[in-house]
Amino acid sequence: MASVSLERHPRLDSWIEIATDGRILLRTGKVDIGQRISTALAMIAAEELDVDPSMIDVVRTETGRDPDEGITSGSYSMEQSGNALRHAAATARRHMVARAAEALGVDRADLEIDDGVIRARDTNRSVSYAELQGGQPFGIAVDPDAAVKAPSSHRFIGTAATPRGMADIVSGRYEFLHDLKLPDMLHARVVRPPHYHARLKALDDGVAERLAGRDISLVRDGSFLAVAGRDEYAVIRAVDTVAAAAEWNLGEGLEPQDVYERLWTNPRVSLPVVDGGPVEEPVPAPTPPPEGAMVTLSARYEKPYHMHGSIGPSAAMAWWRDNRLEIRSHSQGVYILRDAISEALGIAAENIRIRHAPGAGCYGHNGADDAALDAALVARALPGSPVLLKWTREEEHGWEPYGTCTSMDLRASLDAGGRVVQWSHESCGDSYALRPRSGPGRAGAARLLSSRYLPDPPPAFLPGPAMGKHLGIHRNLDPLYDFAGRRLVKHLVRGLPLRTSALRSLGGYANVFAIECFIDELAAMAGIDPVAFRLSHLRDERARRTISEAAELMAGWPAAEGRGRGLGFARYKNVQAYAAVAVELEVTDAAEVKLHRMALAADAGEVVDRAGLAAQIEGGALQAASWTLYEEVTFDGGGITSRDWETYPILRFDNVPAITTVLVDRPGDPFLGAGETVCGPTAAAIGNAVFDATGLRLRRIPFVPDAIRTAAMAG
């Protein structure tokens, strides 16, 4: 099977090493960020190599050493690294069996493998992987057509594995980047401006000297200010000292504005979307409903800026020695980060080495990459010592790149039989494509936060519209349903106030929320059951099965007065995992949404780690429930006002529903990326259930009590 990763790294030695002690090392460019990819990759390789997964180590990706598989994003890790390692392991096994046959003087067909030992049947003669290959390179290419195990013979794939590192996680011994301790290490913190547009006007001359007396170094580079020292708490207090000594040019601040209005009035790049991707053509004007249309409905759906909101603020270690820079980062893309830091600091990429280290869950492009540049700037100013730089909670909330606000206009016409005969969906938002990819005009550096505050900042990066299928704003804009007369438009809106980038599921969350709520509106208008309405517009059997699984679970819930139920569905990017979500909830007298039950059905192709897949599906659903019920980044002229967990509340244990998860396993079928598929369906299921419970159609996220009361008064 073709794999982007194997095309880029065709040699077996790029992927697998057998050590002299028999342990097997897997190299991957995909990083474990809590999604348990290393657990799944080890299971895949263990299966093909006939060893226990505990014999396998999985590297933490390091630039220059491990495969460059781009970014750990887009739910691609199983499809890319999983397939690459499956074929690498199958190639390695075949190679070692051939060598064993030679060594033992028997036919390959007479060999069997048990736990890394190749044995000639009916004899005592055997040779281990370590004896055959230990410490030696394979020196061959991965054969993408190497025969892989039949699903019927799988021992590990499809089981529920204990995640790698789990014992250390529960005992507090799992080493996060934040926990790193190196000899002579300095702790560092950044002193941020009050908001994006502020620049340093003056800094009290005496502050550096006063800090030196407290064993703290001040780093000043243009408007970038940081402090570093051996005592972490002294460094934290020094931030306040520097902040009090700094005077900022505040400029005009952030312009207070109604972003939902600006999403329709600001300058924009508008493109029609056909077959899932934008085309360079004029946007077609809306046309009147076609002949046969009995009813036409239109509605506007909206979501605010959301944050990634990692529980552990971003961090990085940087160490400048002999004109070389070593970095540890919890970035999802250590190679692109290396090239962006090369641009930002003007040093050659080959003099920078970045190794991934565990951080708190990130769910997309959060502050990880920015923190790496921050640490590098401090390390460059203080060469010779390793510098561990951490962001504060306020920094993480206020400076990470958010998932954009979005406004969507939908319009559809139904014929007399309740079929969609015309469908229009326009989606307006800011860019999701602001990861620090290097390019002309120091485009990588420009997308690292602190570059903007250096004396010679790169020109601001203006992203163009993402043009591939199901990217950014138009992810899942094209519905999977058999809707006739589609008119799909993406609007990349300019001049919006907040910094944005990739947040789990990108535009898929907003678009599926809108599509799947609007379908319920249409079904109600046509007097058709919403599940039946969906099924009548779907031919894809796997889609139908997924919806039916969730719907059946929902139908089995005992009736409960005052509660409402709703369902949402999507196939991520129309090519990855299928997910259907059913929700039961009530709206309390305090106008709060209380979640009671959730049924999650997913078809992600062949299931590798059942526990890991279930965790991704359930975690995605709860995170999306949190976005939908509680979350909105707020700001005023002085900057971001969502500065902590009280001003940006998220889901807590008191509103976690009982969850039933059904994973439709398809042994032997391709892996389908599953980490993001459930987000949009969850939002829609909640919206539809609120409608079912109250008759209120909420079209703007989050569904906070004020929004519910406002809707109730309007209705």
Partner 1 sequence: MTVLVLCVNGERRETAVDPSTPLIFVLRNEFGLTGAKLGCSLEQCGACAVLADGERVLSCNRPAAEFAESEIITAEALERDRIGERVQSAFVAETAAQCGYCTPGLVVAATALLKANPSPEEDEIRSALNDHLCRCGSHASVLAAVRHAAAGTADG
Q: Which residues bind partner 1 (CB under 8 A)?
A: 33-36, 160, 162-163, 165-167, 169-176, 178-179, 181, 231-234, 236, 308-313, 358-361, 363, 390, 392-393, 611-612, 615, 618-623, 626, 644-646, 650-654, 656, 658-659
Q: In terms of CB distance, is 172 or 213 closer to partner 1? A: 172
State in angstroms the smallest separation of the CB of 366 from partner 1.
Answer: 10
CA distances from 337 to 62, 334, 416, 709 (A): 11, 5, 55, 46
* Residue 145 DSSP one-character state: T
- Alpha helix stretches (DSSP H) within 354-433: 368-381, 393-399
Residue 261 CB coordination number (10 Å): 10
Q: In terms of CB distance, is 33 or 443 closer to partner 1? A: 33
- Token pair belonging to 506: 């990108």
Q: In terms of CB distance, is 20 or 634 closer to partner 1? A: 634
694's CB contacts (< 8 A; 6+ apart) are 564, 587, 708, 712
Q: In terms of CB distance, is 277 or 358 closer to partner 1? A: 358
Q: In terms of CB distance, is 105 or 183 closer to partner 1? A: 183
- What is the amino acid identity at position 221? D
Full DSSP string of 505-564: TTHHHHHHHHHHHHHHHHHHHHT--HHHHHHHT---HHHHHHHHHHHHHHHTSPP-TTEE
State in angstroms the smallest separation of the CB of 394 from partner 1.
Answer: 9
Closest by Cα among 546, 555, 413, 534 to 479: 534
Q: In terms of CB distance, is 136 or 162 closer to partner 1? A: 162
Q: Is residue 462 classed as helix, strand or coil in its secondary structure?
A: coil
Gap between the Cα atoms of 328 and 341, Å rounded: 13
State in angstroms the smallest separation of the CB of 622 from partner 1.
Answer: 3
Q: In terms of CB distance, is 154 or 214 closer to partner 1? A: 214
State in angstroms the smallest separation of the CB of 621 from partner 1.
Answer: 7
Dihedral sign (CA 199, 204, 206, 210): negative
State in angstroms the smallest separation of the CB of 600 from partner 1.
Answer: 10
Measured distance between the N- and C-terminal CA atoms of the chain, rounded to whole angstroms: 55
Q: In terms of CB distance, is 232 or 665 closer to partner 1? A: 232
Residue 647 CB coordination number (10 Å): 13
C-beta separation of 198 from 399 below 8 A: no
Closest by Cα among 284, 271, 299 to 525: 299
Q: In terms of CB distance, is 478 or 618 closer to partner 1? A: 618
State in angstroms the smallest separation of the CB of 510 from partner 1.
Answer: 19
Q: In terms of CB distance, is 116 or 620 closer to partner 1? A: 620
The C-alpha torsion from 154 through 155 and 157 to 163, rounded to 10°, is -170
State in angstroms the smallest separation of the CB of 572 from partner 1.
Answer: 17
State in angstroms the smallest separation of the CB of 341 from partner 1.
Answer: 24
The secondary element (H helix, E strand) that includes residue 392 is none
Strand duo 216-221 + 224-229: pairing: antiparallel
State in angstroms the smallest separation of the CB of 693 from partner 1.
Answer: 22
Residue 206 CB coordination number (10 Å): 9
Gap between the Cα atoms of 697 and 566, Å rounded: 12
State in angstroms the smallest separation of the CB of 567 from partner 1.
Answer: 19
C-beta separation of 499 from 196 below 8 A: yes
State in angstroms the smallest separation of the CB of 17 from partner 1.
Answer: 27
Find how far residue 548's CA is from the centre of its chain.
27
State in angstroms the smallest separation of the CB of 464 from partner 1.
Answer: 31
Q: In terms of CB distance, is 182 or 712 closer to partner 1? A: 182
Q: In terms of CB distance, is 612 or 681 closer to partner 1? A: 612
Q: In terms of CB distance, is 153 or 171 closer to partner 1? A: 171
Q: Label residue 658 exposed, middle or buried (CB < 10 Å: 0-12, 13-18, 19+).
A: exposed
Gap between the Cα atoms of 436 and 443, Å rounded: 7
State in angstroms the smallest separation of the CB of 185 from partner 1.
Answer: 10
Closest by Cα among 71, 101, 66, 99 to 85: 66
Q: What does R_g of the chain's alpha carbons equal in angstroms?
A: 27
Q: In terms of CB distance, is 465 or 681 closer to partner 1? A: 681
State in angstroms the smallest separation of the CB of 568 from partner 1.
Answer: 16
